[in-house]
């Protein structure tokens, strides 16, 4: 039996599998070792929210590259990811100030919406809340 492999990945969570995919696409042989019958770690239990908007500088560039990569992998694996953007609620003037600063710095990524605008789209939203959201 030949156990030779270029890359040995321990753990079939998202980090391990991401490394496995990248290695395979570089023509390397990969073996993934997982202690459980199937991966049941953090990658299975998380909220499934991938947010790139909160990053800045070099990390923002990396996050946008990663976003394209994950959407490509999602399309190939049929996981059903939805690139819908996100809503962040401001429940206090201080929180609103942070969102206003973010919207001013990132006009292509973030727009402020009033409670009324959000309520028109999401009837369950609270009546006196301001929101920041990516442009639709």
Ligand X SMILES: Cc1cc2nc3c(=O)[nH]c(=O)nc-3n(C[C@H](O)[C@H](O)[C@H](O)COP(=O)(O)OP(=O)(O)OC[C@H]3O[C@@H](n4cnc5c(N)ncnc54)[C@H](O)[C@@H]3O)c2cc1C
| Site residues (CB under 6 A) for ligand X, limited to 74-113 | none
Single out the residue of 15, 28, 65, 120 in contact with ligand X (rule: CB under 6 A).
Answer: 15
Backbone angles phi, psi at 56, to 5 degrees: -140, 165
Contact pattern from residue 42 through residue 81 relative to ligand X, giving x for each residue in contact according to CB under 6 A and a dash for the rest = xx-xxxxxx-------------------------------
Strand order in the sheet with 111-113: 88-90, 130-133, 111-113
User: 3-state DSSP helix/strand/coil percent for the chain, to nearest 5?
Assistant: 40, 15, 45
Pick the closer one to ligand X by CB: 53 or 130: 53
Q: Give me the least distance between CB of 126 and ligand X, in Å please.
A: 22
- 3-class SS at 75? helix
- 3-class SS at 89? strand
Single out the residue of 7, 19, 23, 41 in contact with ligand X (rule: CB under 6 A).
Answer: 41
CA-wise closest residue to 54 among 106, 100, 91 = 106
Single out the residue of 7, 13, 87, 89 in contact with ligand X (rule: CB under 6 A).
Answer: 13
Positions that interact with ligand X (CB under 6 A): 10-16, 33-36, 39, 41-43, 45-50
């Amino acid at each position: 039996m030949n156990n030779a492999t270029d890359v040995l990945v321990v753990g079939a969570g998202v980090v391990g599998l991401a490394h496995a995919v990248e290695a395979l696409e570089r023509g390397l042989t990969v073996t993934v070792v997982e202690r459980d019958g199937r991966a049941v770690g953090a990658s299975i239990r998380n909220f499934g929210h991938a947010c790139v908007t909160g990053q800045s500088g070099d990390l923002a560039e990396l996050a946008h590259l990663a976003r394209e990569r994950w959407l490509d992998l999602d399309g190939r694996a049929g996981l059903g990811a939805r690139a819908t953007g996100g809503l962040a609620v401001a429940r206090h003037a201080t929180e609103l100030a942070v969102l206003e600063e973010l919207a001013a710095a990132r006009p292509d990524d973030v727009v402020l919406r009033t409670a009324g605008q959000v309520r028109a789209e999401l009837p369950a939203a609270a009546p006196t809340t301001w929101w920041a959201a990516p442009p639709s």
